[in-house]
């Protein structure tokens, strides 16, 4: 149900969720999400963010649930910190700790002015196969992390044409197109959400011909963004992510409040 050996779908879910909305300086805010495969619950996630005069910090957690735990327990802890620069959140440090069963892998990425300056993966990946597409010299310039890359300050374009994402292993583009608005309500929010169609474009850091990636290249995702009360940002409240075994739905069950 989830890919083996690397957090590909976890990255997509984290990207879809992004983070809870920003709040006034020094105030911690939590949003919670249910994740299902069709009607079947498979995971839960929560995100907390804090903004102050010096920048922002976002922490997130993901835990598998239901039938997924009968196969293999999966969890992830992620953390990003950085600064707000104009209409973009720009990371300085991003980390992801991904656990499947008894195996854990940690990704740490450092950024400077939008460029990746270092990546550490523990334990180190095994030797890559001949079909592996390596990260190129120009792939890590002007990129975004998977969390704050999908948080939009007020005034920014909500469905930008391209988001260049780097998750510590893979470099990918998310291509967003506007699809209007739809009503959405949950604890802490009721109103219109901005709807974006999303396509996944792998660039490097993946195995050519991998079935899940080939599937995602042809699939169309959907993301809904809502403005947080008392904060000048838009963040995701709903996502639909196609997989080979059916659509995964990510729904905010708490958004502010």
Q: Give the Cα-Cα-Cα angle 250, 13, 112 (nearest 5 degrees).
A: 135
Crossing angle of helices 211-218 and 8-17, rounded to 10°: 30
CATH number at residue 222: 2.40.360
Pairing of strands 132-133, 55-64: unpaired
Residue 87: the pLDDT is 81
10-25 pLDDT, tens digit each: 555 555 554 444 444 5
- pLDDT-derived band at 184 (thresholds 50, 70, 90) equals very high
Residue 229: the pLDDT is 67
Residue 3: the pLDDT is 41
Within-domain flag for 2? no
Residue 15: the pLDDT is 52
- pLDDT-derived band at 59 (thresholds 50, 70, 90) equals confident
- pLDDT-derived band at 54 (thresholds 50, 70, 90) equals confident
Within-domain flag for 1? no
What Rg do the C-alpha atoms of the chain give, in angstroms?
17
Residue 192: the pLDDT is 95
User: Six-digit token pair at 65?
Assistant: 């649930």
Residue 14: the pLDDT is 56
In 157-214, where do the E strands start and end?
163-166, 171-186, 189-204, 206-207
Residue 10: the pLDDT is 56
pLDDT at 46 over 90: no
Within-domain flag for 115? yes
* pTM over 0.75, yes/no: yes
Q: Which carries the bigger pLDDT value, residue 110 or residue 29?
A: 110
Within-domain flag for 93? yes
Within-domain flag for 238? yes
Tell me the residue range of the domain where 65 lies: 8-255
- pLDDT-derived band at 132 (thresholds 50, 70, 90) equals very high
**Cis bond leading into 123, ω under 30°?**
yes
pLDDT at 6 over 60: no
Taking residues 219-227, report their average pLDDT: 93
Could you give the number of structural domains in the chain? 1
User: Six-digit token pair at 16?
Assistant: 């879809």
CA distance 240 to 251: 9
Residue 207: the pLDDT is 92
CB neighbourhood size of 49 (10 A): 29
User: Six-digit token pair at 72?
Assistant: 């293999």
- pLDDT-derived band at 140 (thresholds 50, 70, 90) equals very high
pLDDT at 141 over 90: yes
- Per the CB < 8 A criterion, the answer to whether 187 and 254 are in contact is yes
Within-domain flag for 162? yes
Residue 23: the pLDDT is 46
Across-strand partners of 31?
Answer: 47, 255
64-105 pLDDT, tens digit each: 887 777 677 888 899 999 998 878 889 999 999 988 889 999
Residue 4: the pLDDT is 41
Taking residues 107-133, report their average pLDDT: 94
- pLDDT-derived band at 53 (thresholds 50, 70, 90) equals confident
């Amino acid at each position: 149900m989830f890919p083996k050996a690397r957090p590909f779908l976890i990255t997509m879910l984290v990207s879809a969720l992004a983070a809870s909305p920003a709040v006034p300086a020094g105030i911690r805010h939590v949003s919670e999400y249910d994740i299902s495969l069709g009607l079947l619950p498979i995971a839960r996630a929560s995100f907390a963010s804090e903004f102050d005069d010096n920048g922002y910090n976002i922490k997130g957690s993901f835990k598998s649930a239901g039938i997924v735990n009968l196969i293999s327990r999966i969890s992830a802890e992620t953390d990003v910190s950085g600064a707000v620069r104009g209409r973009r959140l720009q990371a300085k440090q991003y980390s992801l700790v991904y656990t499947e069963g008894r195996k854990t892998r940690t990704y740490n990425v450092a950024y400077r002015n939008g460029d990746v300056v270092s990546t550490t993966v523990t334990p180190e990946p095994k030797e890559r196969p001949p079909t592996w597409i390596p990260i190129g010299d120009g792939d890590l310039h002007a990129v975004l992390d998977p969390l704050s890359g999908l948080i939009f300050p007020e005034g920014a374009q909500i469905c930008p044409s391209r988001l260049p994402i780097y998750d510590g292993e893979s470099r990918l583009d998310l291509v967003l197109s506007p699809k209007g608005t739809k009503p959405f309500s949950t604890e802490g929010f009721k109103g219109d959400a901005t709807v974006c169609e999303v396509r996944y474009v792998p660039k490097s850091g993946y195995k050519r011909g991998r079935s899940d990636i080939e599937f995602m290249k042809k699939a169309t995702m959907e993301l809904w963004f809502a403005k947080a009360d008392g904060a000048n940002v838009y963040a995701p409240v709903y996502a639909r992510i196609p997989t080979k075994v059916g659509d995964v739905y990510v729904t905010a069950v708490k958004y502010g409040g």
